[in-house]
Structure 1
Amino acid sequence: MMQVRTFLVGLACAYCAVVGAKSIAADQRSNQASAGFKSDIAPFLSTHCMRCHGADAQKGDRRFDWLDGSIADENVLVDYQDILDQLNLGEMPPADEKQPSDTSRRRVIQWLTRRIEMHHQMRSTAHGVTALRRLNAREYSNTVRDLLHLNMQMFDPTATFPKDETVEHLDNNGEALVTSGYLLSRYLTAADQVVQRAIGPIDQPKPQTWTFRSGFRQQPEIDQVHRKTNKFSHMTLYDVIGADKHEGAYGPIDQFRDGVPIDGFYEIKIKAEAVNRFHPYDDEFLGTDRAEPLRLGIRPGNRRVGKLHLPQPIEPLLAEIELADEQKWYTTRVWLDKGFTPRFTFRNGLMDARSLWTKLIKKYPDQFPDNIANGIVAKRFNAIQHGKLPQIRLHEIEIRGPLFSQWPTRSQRELLGKDLENAASGADLQTDKLREHLVRFMTRAYRRPVKSDELDRVLTLIKSRKSGGRNSLQAFGDGIKAVLCSPSFLYLDEGERKTLSNHALASRLAYFLWSSMPDQRLTDLAESGELADNGTLRREVDRLLNAPQSDAMIHGFLDSWLTLRDLGAAPPDRGIFREYYQYDLVTAMRTESQLFARHLIDQDLSLVNFIDSNFSFANKRLAMMYGIDAPPGPDFQRVLFDDDRRGGLLGQASVLTVSANGIDTSPVVRGVWVLENFLGTPPSPPPPDVEPLDPDTRNAKTIREQLQKHRKIASCNDCHRKIDPLGFALENYDPIGRWRTHYRRTPIDASGKLPDGQSFDDIVGLKALLMQRQRPFAKSLTEKLLAYAMGRSVTANDRPDVEQILNRVESSDWGFRELIHQIVQSDSFHQK
């Protein structure tokens, strides 16, 4: 015993000696840093920084006169990091202040870099901590879908959830994802809906057939004409669904208004034709293209939600068919939820037919009877009766279903397997059977092995419900609802240690790249411990990125990084931007950015393409808006640019539209957007006592003159010298991203000067300057993507990981896919 005690004492002494030596070395380095601060850094700050960031003034809420070379807390670390970043960017000192020599600037940058690295090395806790993070709305829906194999096209269990709050535009930041009493009640309702859909009918429904050959009423305004012209013998579509006052945009089946009786796949046969594709009118007048086949779309509708001939909140495009210019039969298969009915639409149809009736007769009077009475009723009748407008006619419709490829359904088998029929028949399921099914389900739902006490609680609940009169199936369903309302399902369990467990790592990876739960392969690798191997992890990242589910990451990240979730929130003026609505450009804009990011990932192309590139993706109408050769057909294709105005994100219509207000453009709004989202250097908020544009600037003739006067206010100049040049560079793009050279009669001046004094003439020149700043842009993108991946904000303590990621990605020519790999391999990603 004495020998053991002596050994432990000796071990303790040796440990103390090592720690003491490290402490002495750290103190020596700290003393050296303090000496360097006094001799080199303090004089530099005094000469170049204190006038704006000293005792008398604190621009941007930054004060540096109390810095002494030490880093006592997070606030001081942030101050040093800000100084270093501004010096590296060349934005400080401002161009109108006394400039340091290159030697002096490099010496300060080197000292700051070493001092910050030393601080991180000395810290025992090197990373931020992810707040307890619940699933956001889209993650919840995706997880429910994958857990129970549900079709979610028409079902949104989060429809009544409170809107998720965001931090730096990220909707998956744990700090903002709070839980309220109201949300808990919504979870209960959602769980009930989910379980009902998963269990569904026990007996396989027999397919039914509904046939419609006449009685095609559509909407009152159109019906009064069709009653006379065709006696409702066929359905006729005129408008696109983007029209303002719809007439013939949606073709519901009036006799089938109550919809299908049960969820499932339904086969729809349609006898249809394209009519008047080769019409006698000017294509530009109608906004159509006779070279395109007319395209029929199918969207769901629910009369309990609203009128079937008008837009509804949930109406995904279920199918699209190109029609021949003669009557033919077409067959398609679509999913329909109970109560939903198919509605037919004209994908490339007319725009605002209500106003077109009158315009048509006025433009082509020789093609219509003389003395047509005034009023919309008479004009509509004559335009339909005598006109030759492009239209789609449906003569017969047959619906058959529901059709199931397997029974019981995959959802039912996921819950009870072969015991479903026994439970449904009233047979009592034994505890060992219940336990077997629950272990499998709860392990998947909790994304880790289920604990015995968790399992026992659900079993006790099921037994209690059975003793209260519920049959085995009903009681089991109540147990599943309890699982779906459990914190272990609603929150990401990251374990008790600082480093993520294997299962927590699998979840973080899956929610990063798929916005959903881990699949079975990922779970198996976590269980075996193989996921901890860097090679295995890299292969899994590639597998997940190559799967179609990774579109969820692209959509979710672009919605946050580029604020694309706000695209369409400020719709432009219908009179000025007609094509935006007729050709559904908002969808095309979003699709372009998503396909662009997808291509960079798939090909591991340089993320510098986000700054500038000679290619993008467009469909015919978006390409026409860009003034480039339009690809044939309605699909998106890779397109090349002959000039430099369109390349990169700053030339994409999605970015240019989301950074406008729908009515006009603002250099300030767009400049702030570029600083905040594209460059990751958001300006400070304006002082509370200064209006966005001071009243004294109202006599200025142009927005540039207004802002020049505004910048004469000392408290405004510091931010606007960063904001305004970036915004003016984008002024050649109108509110939906079309190129322009004038504001009505006034020529646009898109020139500017960056804070470091470099000038440019237009967006092409600005992008050339940004291409010289590839690393700062890459740093901004890395920090945003890392925050999205971890579910928390990036802090100053993550800076070593960020720098390491940047160094490795830079050596791979800034490959975007490689950036994702390096984020997943980083210490920050593997820790809470």
Structure 2
Amino acid sequence: MHDRVQAGEMPPKDASLRPSPAERSAFLSTLAMSITTQEKAQDARQGRATQRRLNAYEYENALRDLLHAPWLQIRGQFPDDGEAFRFNKVGEALDVSHVHLARYLTAADYALREVIRAHEKRTQPQTQRYYARDQKTLTNTFTQNPFNTSPDRQCYPVLGSTAQPDVRNRRAPLTDPATREQEAVGWVSSNYVTGFTYRWDQFKAPVAGRYRVSFRGYTLWAAPGGTQRRFTSGSDKVGTPGKPRPDVPDYDKLTPGRTVEPITVYTRNGTLNRRVGAFDLTPEPTRHEIGEVWLVGGETLVPDASRFYRSRPPAFKNPLMTKDGCPSVAFQWMEVEGPLNDESSDAGYQLLFGGDQNPERLLRRFLSAAYRGPVDESDLQRFFKLYQERQSAGLSTQEALLATYTAVLASPRFLFLQEKPGPLDDRALATRLALFLWNSTPDATLRERATQGTLHRPDVLRAETERLLNDPKAHRFTEAFLDYWLDLRKIEDSTPSTTLYNDYYLDDALVEAAMLESHLTFEELVRQNLPARNVVDANFIFTNERLATHYGLPEVKGVAMRRVTLPPNSPRGGFLTQASVLKVTANGTTTSPVLRGKWVMERILGYEVPPPPPVPAVEPDIRGAVTIRQQLDKHRADPSCASCHSKIDPPGFALESFDVMGAWRERYRGIDETKPPEKGIGKNGQAFAFHQGLPVDCSGKLSSGTPFTDVRDLKHLLAQDESPLARNLAKQLVIYATGAPIRFSDRAALEKVLTETKPSHYGVRSLLHAVVQSELFRQK
């Protein structure tokens, strides 16, 4: 009510009676005082933020850091956390049920036993080489395998660039000691992330820990004209050769590689896959190190030729096949050194059982670390009693301690933030700062500052903020904050249509690069303290070759992400036109100006869009006969729709220049069986089935009446006034950091943050510091 009257929207301009300016001012002053008084009274009783538990992100990181086990993966064991004000940090939405409690006990027990297992199985580091010829998932796909459905999915043996048909047809041994180091296995297709056809199955990490990994391989070129063998029975191991086909590679006609192929390395353990590295494979045989990676016990590794296709039935096609042949990759070996040990490798076990063997003193030490401060004697005795009960029930000392530690990790003092109304004490302030910038609980240094009682001093608090931001753990903040502010956690919620967008289907390399672009962009804004206007309009992006090709930037080569200055008049730069954002604001088949416009207004400008009135929704016409703009023109004729659509539709119209994966387009894609489809083959080996539809109209007019012709104009208009962008970013940071929304009485404190950071043009690092120093952050 206050804001509508202040903006002049109420009473309506055609009202018979309107208040005088003095009456209006008096009304606003009285209402503002009433709202503020009410909210401040609430603060005195319970604080701005309601009490809350750790969310799943935070609980996983808290166990990783407490137990010195960064390889722990337990987040997936919990029910999805509730959300309020777009974040999973608000106490009102973080309920606790019997399901949560059961999962906490299960997850904590699992984590503790993993730490023990890592200690018991830990060995001295060793370096071992795993040859491609020894991997059954590679050699089992040679041509004679009767279960193969496509020759394009098969592996083949090679010595340098020389084919080995006798080995491939099992007329010669798989390996020869004299040529062992030069032998390789090649293939021309990409892996399925869910199955991983080409994996190093002879290696499994013996214990959780750090490993140093490298691969040796090169690229080849396979001529066309191969055959697909026909198998008459399960006992027929060779099969009958078919006729040569120009779309099938001939693995007996190989030449040195003509391309550089990006390789992405994943872990594999059941159905869990993680991206751990990438490199470029060249025609020259080369050793490629992906550096140190954290592996869980039992995990193996998979190098994937990410540019290659993933052929699927019914018609197997290779999009990279030309009249001269197709590219291939060949790997000789993988080398693994580890587990790599240092002073932290066994720190988790030492916390649980090391040194003093007195159970009560061990428990006191564990409680002090878990509870992030001194331990009350009553807490110690409560858990020690549990330990004694478990021992009396017949458990060994270790098992009784494990049961007690598990109870600690599911107890309120560990799960819940310990905050009291009013200014936070130093321990609560340390916890809030760590949860903000590390998405975890305080480390020893931060706890020491709290114990000394100095953390609340502005200089100490600033120094600790800098330390946390400069630590690699700050990437957790980037990931978790963008997951919810920009909705990046939803990037896999939709799958590109195999009819309209077959060129994006199964393209994991593109999605991964898009996510990395967003993370690296935000980290650059923080690292360089760049002005908040870069959120919508920056002169740089982070990209690799795959993403640059998607964006039409041909000069970028290689799989590595790097900062690239954009050419003049580029539509890219800033979050609005990043592929990750454009994917999460589409559904894989069509785009909607309403959804994208609403996203811009809420996530970038901070305008809260009310729920829509009960009117029929607009469904895009995938036939391409009618544009979404034409449909919305009729929709906005309804007065109940027009007030909001006049604000949210224009940014959405500007973003219509981008398809469901963020590629630039001049026309829509549609389906019309009377017209021939576009020529081309998708990553799944199937032909495109769409035609070019109507032209895209990306012009519009802001609710202020200012016109724009395209997204370049829109970004320029939004970046001209930095304060709304900075205000919204500060607002999102405060909600994420404190678990409470910006209420009416908080507005003055938020404006103070903006005043302090205006000299830096609202530099993003300056905003972070100002938020931490603000009364909003330092009080419950």
Q: For the superposition of Structure 1 and Structure 2, which TM-score range results when normalised by the shorter chain?
A: 0.7 to 0.9
Residues 1:316 and 2:274 aligned together: yes
* Partner secondary structure for residue 783 of structure 1: helix
Aligned equivalents of 1:668 and 1:586: distance in 2?
24
* Deviation at residue 756 of structure 1 after TM alignment: 2.3
* Deviation at residue 446 of structure 1 after TM alignment: 1.4
Tell me the amino acid that sits aligned with residue 116 of structure 1.
Answer: A
Pairing partner for 2:405 from 465, 480, 483:
480
Aligned equivalents of 1:592 and 1:362: distance in 2?
30
Identity fraction in percent: 34
Aligned equivalents of 2:560 and 2:20: distance in 1?
56
**Aligned partners of 2:604 and 2:728 also within 8 Å:** yes
Matched with 1:379 is none
Matches within 5 A, 1:674-753: 674-688=600-614, 690-693=615-618, 701-743=626-668, 744-753=692-701
Matched with 1:417 is 354
- What is the TM-score when the length of structure 2 is the normalising length? 0.79
Residues 1:560 and 2:484 aligned together: yes
Residues 1:301 and 2:238 aligned together: no
Matched with 1:375 is none
Structure 1 pair 465/557, CA: closer, same or farther in 2 (3 Å)? same
Structure 1 pair 272/290, CA: closer, same or farther in 2 (3 Å)? closer
Aligned equivalents of 1:456 and 1:205: distance in 2?
34
Structure 1 pair 407/600, CA: closer, same or farther in 2 (3 Å)? closer
Matched with 2:149 is none
**Aligned partners of 1:240 and 1:582 also within 8 Å:** no
* Deviation at residue 623 of structure 1 after TM alignment: 1.9
The higher radius of gyration belongs to 1
**Aligned partners of 2:624 and 2:694 also within 8 Å:** no
**1:293-350 per-position Cα deviation (integer Å, ceiling 9, x unaligned):** 4455443323xx3xxxxxx3x2223344544535566676654333323333224444
Structure 1 pair 768/745, CA: closer, same or farther in 2 (3 Å)? same
* Deviation at residue 110 of structure 1 after TM alignment: 10
Tell me the amino acid that sits aligned with residue 612 of structure 2.
Answer: P
Residues 1:504 and 2:451 aligned together: no
**Aligned partners of 1:615 and 1:640 also within 8 Å:** yes
Structure 1: give runs of 5+ residues left out of the alignment.
1-78, 306-311, 368-387, 420-428
Aligned equivalents of 1:104 and 1:241: distance in 2?
71
**Aligned partners of 1:277 and 1:325 also within 8 Å:** no
Deviates more, 1:333-342 or 1:483-492: 333-342
Residues 1:460 and 2:405 aligned together: no
Aligned equivalents of 1:407 and 1:728: distance in 2?
53
* Deviation at residue 361 of structure 1 after TM alignment: 11
Pairing partner for 1:179 from 93, 96, 108:
96
* Partner secondary structure for residue 318 of structure 1: strand
Deviates more, 1:734-743 or 1:406-415: 406-415
Tell me the amino acid that sits aligned with residue 41 of structure 2.
Answer: T
Residues 1:524 and 2:448 aligned together: yes
How large is the Cα RMSD of the aligned pairs?
3.8
**1:705-754 per-position Cα deviation (integer Å, ceiling 9, x unaligned):** 22111112222222222222221111111111111222234222222222
Structure 1 pair 111/537, CA: closer, same or farther in 2 (3 Å)? farther
**1:549-600 per-position Cα deviation (integer Å, ceiling 9, x unaligned):** 1111111111111111111211212463525644611111121121111111
Matches within 5 A, 1:653-672: 653-672=579-598
Matches within 5 A, 1:107-122: 112=28, 116=32, 120=36
Matched with 1:346 is 305
* Deviation at residue 216 of structure 1 after TM alignment: 3.6
**Aligned partners of 1:149 and 1:410 also within 8 Å:** yes
Structure 1 pair 563/462, CA: closer, same or farther in 2 (3 Å)? same
Pairing partner for 2:69 from 129, 143, 150:
150
Structure 1 pair 190/669, CA: closer, same or farther in 2 (3 Å)? same
Structure 2: give runs of 5+ residues left out of the alignment.
146-153, 157-164, 176-183, 227-247, 250-255, 669-691
Aligned equivalents of 2:225 and 2:442: distance in 1?
57
Matched with 1:275 is 220
Aligned equivalents of 2:764 and 2:570: distance in 1?
22
Aligned equivalents of 1:280 and 1:606: distance in 2?
57
- What is the TM-score when the length of structure 1 is the normalising length? 0.75
Aligned equivalents of 2:317 and 2:625: distance in 1?
43
Aligned equivalents of 1:150 and 1:593: distance in 2?
27
Matched with 1:810 is 758
Matched with 1:825 is 773
Matched with 2:198 is 251
Give the number of aligned pairs: 688
* Deviation at residue 525 of structure 1 after TM alignment: 0.7
**Aligned partners of 2:68 and 2:345 also within 8 Å:** no
Aligned equivalents of 1:322 and 1:363: distance in 2?
22
Question: Which has more strand, going by share of residues?
Answer: 2
Matches within 5 A, 1:12-411: 79-84=1-6, 86=7, 92=9, 112=28, 116=32, 120=36, 124-125=40-41, 127=43, 129-152=48-71, 155-200=72-117, 203=120, 205-206=122-123, 214=133, 216-218=135-137, 224=145, 229=168, 231=170, 235-241=185-191, 250-254=197-201, 259-265=204-210, 272-276=217-221, 293-302=260-269, 305=270, 312=271, 314-323=272-281, 325=283, 334-352=293-311, 358=317, 364=323, 389-396=326-333, 402=339, 404-405=341-342, 409-411=346-348
**1:21-77 per-position Cα deviation (integer Å, ceiling 9, x unaligned):** xxxxxxxxxxxxxxxxxxxxxxxxxxxxxxxxxxxxxxxxxxxxxxxxxxxxxxxxx
* Partner secondary structure for residue 649 of structure 1: coil
Structure 1 pair 147/695, CA: closer, same or farther in 2 (3 Å)? closer
Aligned equivalents of 1:695 and 1:345: distance in 2?
37
Question: Which has more helix, going by share of residues?
Answer: 1
* Partner secondary structure for residue 390 of structure 1: strand
Residues 1:536 and 2:460 aligned together: yes
Tell me the amino acid that sits aligned with residue 342 of structure 1.
Answer: L
Matched with 1:764 is 712
Structure 1 pair 151/514, CA: closer, same or farther in 2 (3 Å)? closer
* Deviation at residue 210 of structure 1 after TM alignment: 8.1
Structure 1 pair 794/133, CA: closer, same or farther in 2 (3 Å)? same
Matched with 2:674 is none
Tell me the amino acid that sits aligned with residue 393 of structure 1.
Answer: A
